[in-house]
Amino acid sequence: MTPPAIGGTVDDIGALPKHHTPTQSEKKVILASSLGTIFEWYDFYLYGLLAIIISAQFFSGVNETTGFILALGAFAAGFAVRPFGAVVFGRLGDLVGRKYTFLITMGLMGFATFMVGVLPSYATIGVAAPIILVLLRMLQGLALGGEYGGAATYVAEHAPNNKRGFFTSFIQTTATLGLFAALIVVLGIRTLVGEEAFKDWGWRLPFLVSVFLLGISLWIRMQLEESPVFQRMKAEGKQSKAPLKEAFGHWTNLRLVLIALFGAVAGQAVVWYTGQFYALFFLEKMMKVDGATTNMLIAIALVLATPFFVFFGWLSDKVGRKPIILAGCLLAAVTYFPLFDALQKAANPALYAAQQSAPVTVSADPATCSTQFDPIGKNRFDSSACDIAKSFLAKSGVNYANVAAAPGAGTTVTVGDRVLKVADPAPLDAEARKGLVAGFHDEAKEALAAAGYPASADPAAIDKPMVVAILFLLVLYVTMVYGPIAALLVELFPTKIRYTAMSLPYHIGNGWFGGFLPTIAFALVAATGDITYGLWYPIVVAGLTVAVGLLCLPETFRRDIDS
């Protein structure tokens, strides 16, 4: 039997048996869809890689700790709107087709990314800069909300029944490959122009070069034809007239959406963002490893782990999607604390040793202490002695414990055996308060240095093989939960509402549960003083997914998706 071309007639479509050797046309679909999706992830993740620099460029009007958390919040804003993109473009994809929908989303993504590269900084146009930045991130999020569901559905609907996990796993590699591409570009430009120039203006170049990648990706995707399953459905008049209502207004489908979200995607999302983003921020912000070294170590781990997306996608065709995804969530929840403890020891041994030999505690009346996060960005945290102490420690990434003191007892910071008293700033005028803060900062820096706390990680002391091994294991968990997820979601829902129904739980999970992870985690760290406290968020969510998945998630890998 001669396989039909991708652009064959409706009568030709379906002539192939359910299980067959992939044709050249089907392989072309995988390649073209994957390349286009890599470009979109490259665009989306540039911001995450450059969050610390972008914080300085666009949030310089607030205190440093809040500025970093707000920069992560702007990163998360792109994720916040992804479910809305899923609804808008998912509906469009179910009504007019998979191909044309993700051509539109790609164009939107390319435009928004280029504009970030030319956006003036806070110093140039003031508060308008972060506002426009957030709007561009939201436009990127809308585009990505429509892209993933289209690409996954498009590839799955071309795949042989017994190879859907394997076929769609190539789409699953695109997020990591996009991140890897962004890492390589950022690292290359950083090396070429130097760190100072990169922080000043060179950071814009990775955003600007994306316009060339956009042109190539659009040209490749224009060569493809529509999904054969969608063509058949359209020819037979079986399209949904109201995909949103059918997907979310009928309990049968809505129940599957909720099970997909809480029993698979939420856990997959937090494992993904812990392994690929929280680890990156943790190394750079908390362990004080320089940005170039952090990017290099993450890139090596990604190269080593990326083939496992395809391996676990292939394996899910043999043993099922559910056991692999839930096993990845369970392993992550059980091992995150020991892995990040080992990461501290390997990345900055001097800092780790200092934390053990000279732990830092803050003793203060809890009533005088503010939460070290101000979403408005106007609190300078200098109105009480407790705030002055905690603000300095949070900004410095120093791990500390809280001790509740009796009212009126005053605030002290203990570094090992040394006790620093922090004077009450309340009676002082603004100028004297500045002097008090500066004096405490100098005294605290001297005490930390004397106790062995390094200002930055010593590159020669970093156990790079161990750091890469830990990062590899973190990303391996990502490949377990993410490799089979596209096939699972495609198989859960009927063809006529598939794009819409699978996109929403995916993007709520990854946009909200995953996308807000860095912001939530570092806000928890700033609030408690414990630099690993943020890990509780992914651990709890991953544990919830294991419980819901075991009880409610159906196995799908033997399903026929043509109906």
Angstrom distance (rounded) from CA 252 to CA 260? 13
Q: What is the pLDDT of residue 42?
A: 78
Yes or no: say if 268 and 325 are a contact pair by the CB < 8 Å rule: yes
Band the pLDDT of 502: cuts 50, 70, 90: confident
Name the packing angle between helices 98-118 and 210-222 (round to 10°). Answer: 170
Options 1.20.120, 3.40.30, 2.40.50, 2.60.40; which CATH number does 353-450 get?
3.40.30
pLDDT, one tens digit per residue, over 196-255 is 899 888 989 988 988 887 787 777 767 666 555 556 655 655 555 556 666 576 777 788
Least confident of 126-130, 192-196, 216-220, 473-477: 216-220
Beta bridge partners of 420: 413
What DSSP state is assigned to residue 59?
Answer: -
Q: Is the pLDDT of residue 420 over 50?
A: yes
Beta bridge partners of 362: 402, 413
Q: Which two tokens stand for residue 336?
A: 């995150």
Angstrom distance (rounded) from CA 178 to CA 184? 10
Q: Is the pLDDT of residue 296 over 60?
A: yes
Q: Is the pLDDT of residue 485 over 90?
A: yes
Angstrom distance (rounded) from CA 529 to CA 370? 12
pLDDT, one tens digit per residue, over 532-541 is 899 999 999 9
Least confident of 27-36, 208-217, 293-302, 496-505: 27-36
- HSE-CB at 265 with a 13 A cutoff on CA atoms is 26
Least confident of 35-44, 60-69, 292-301, 361-370: 60-69
Least confident of 219-233, 427-441, 443-457: 219-233
Q: What is the pLDDT of residue 241?
A: 59
pLDDT, one tens digit per residue, over 253-276 is 788 889 999 999 999 999 998 998
- Is the CATH number of domain 25-348+459-552 1.20.1250.20? yes
Q: Which two tokens stand for residue 305?
A: 């782990």
Yes or no: say if 438 and 380 are a contact pair by the CB < 8 Å rule: no
State the chain's mean pLDDT as an integer: 81
Q: Which two tokens stand for residue 410?
A: 């005053």
Q: In terms of C-beta density within 10 A (0-12 exposed, 13-18 middle, 19 or more buried), how is residue 534 classed? A: buried
Beta bridge partners of 414: 361, 419
Region 137-145: what's the mean pLDDT?
80
Angstrom distance (rounded) from CA 505 to CA 497? 13
Provide the residue type at 172 as one letter: Q
Angle made by CA atoms 175, 180, 183, in degrees to the nearest 5: 130
In 261-373, alpha helices (H): 266-273, 279-281, 291-305, 307-319, 322-347, 349-357
Q: Is the pLDDT of residue 548 over 80?
A: yes
Angle made by CA atoms 41, 45, 505, in degrees to the nearest 5: 60
Choose among 88, 259, 177, 153: nearest CA to 561.
153
Q: Is the pLDDT of residue 545 over 90?
A: yes
Higher pLDDT, residue 295 or 411: 411
pLDDT, one tens digit per residue, over 511-527 is 788 877 877 887 788 77
Q: What is the pLDDT of residue 194?
A: 87
Yes or no: say if 513 and 268 are a contact pair by the CB < 8 Å rule: no
Angstrom distance (rounded) from CA 557 to CA 317? 6
Angstrom distance (rounded) from CA 178 to CA 331? 25
336: three-class secondary structure by DSSP: helix
Angstrom distance (rounded) from CA 210 to CA 176? 17
Helix (H) or strand (E) holding 418: strand 418-422
Provide the residue type at 242 as one letter: A
Yes or no: say if 211 and 110 are a contact pair by the CB < 8 Å rule: yes
Angstrom distance (rounded) from CA 93 to CA 99? 8
Choose among 314, 323, 326, 22: nearest CA to 165.
314
Other Cβ atoms within 10 Å of 418 Cβ, number: 14
Q: How far is CA 21 from the centre of its chain?
A: 35
Q: Percentage of the chain surpassing pLDDT 70? A: 80
Choose among 478, 447, 86, 121: nearest CA to 275.
478
Yes or no: say if 500 and 65 are a contact pair by the CB < 8 Å rule: no
Provide the residue type at 237 as one letter: G
Higher pLDDT, residue 334 or 37: 334
Name the packing angle between helices 536-552 and 517-528 (round to 10°). Answer: 130
Helix (H) or strand (E) holding 433: helix 430-450
Region 103-112: what's the mean pLDDT?
80
Choose among 492, 13, 459, 73: nearest CA to 263.
492
Angstrom distance (rounded) from CA 140 to CA 148? 13
Provide Rg for the chain, Cα atoms: 25
Cβ contacts of 421 within 8 Å, gap of 6 or more: 410, 411, 412
Yes or no: say if 75 and 51 are a contact pair by the CB < 8 Å rule: yes
Higher pLDDT, residue 281 or 495: 281
Among 39-53, 152-166, 323-337, 374-388, the range with the most confident prediction by mean pLDDT is 323-337
Q: What is the pLDDT of residue 5?
A: 36
Other Cβ atoms within 10 Å of 5 Cβ, number: 12
Beta bridge partners of 413: 362, 420
Q: What is the pLDDT of residue 195?
A: 84
Choose among 9, 499, 33, 498: nearest CA to 224.
33
Spell out the domain ranges in the chain.
25-348+459-552, 353-450
17: three-class secondary structure by DSSP: coil
Q: Is the pLDDT of residue 465 over 80?
A: yes
Angstrom distance (rounded) from CA 545 to CA 267? 5
Region 113-124: what's the mean pLDDT?
86
pLDDT, one tens digit per residue, over 53-97 is 877 788 766 666 666 666 666 766 777 787 887 777 777 766 665
Strands (E), 29-176: none
Q: What is the pLDDT of residue 305?
A: 92
Q: What is the pLDDT of residue 381?
A: 60
400: three-class secondary structure by DSSP: strand
Region 153-174: what's the mean pLDDT?
82
Band the pLDDT of 13: cuts 50, 70, 90: very low
Higher pLDDT, residue 558 or 247: 558
Q: Is the pLDDT of residue 2 over 60?
A: no
Q: What is the DSSP string of 449-469?
A: HHTT--SS--GGG--HHHHHH
